[in-house]
Amino acid sequence: MKYIRIIIRRTDELENHLRQSMENSELFNLLDLQKSLTYFSTSLRSNAIVMERLMRLRNSTQTNRII
């Protein structure tokens, strides 16, 4: 969550700066941040799927030991 807050804060700063200057570099910086958020979000979703599978495997293994 720390990194998401940093990205959001930086995005807000760039948006404010963009409103004042309207240079292409700020647009590219915002696009880069958007890409970072997209990759971050995708990674979190993928990690959640892996964690669910690991938990199911763990529960399945424990159930087999009991039987």
Residue 52 has pLDDT above 90, yes or no: yes
Residue 51 has pLDDT above 90, yes or no: yes
Q: How many distinct structural domains can be found in the chain?
A: 1
What domain range is 21 assigned to?
2-66
Please name the helix (run of DSSP H) or strand (run of DSSP E) that holds residue 23, with its range, or none.
none
pLDDT-above-70 percentage for the chain: 90
Q: How far apart are CA 51 and CA 17, in angstroms?
A: 40
Q: What is the mean pLDDT of residues 2-6?
A: 82
Q: What are the start-end ranges of the H helices in the chain?
A: 2-21, 24-66
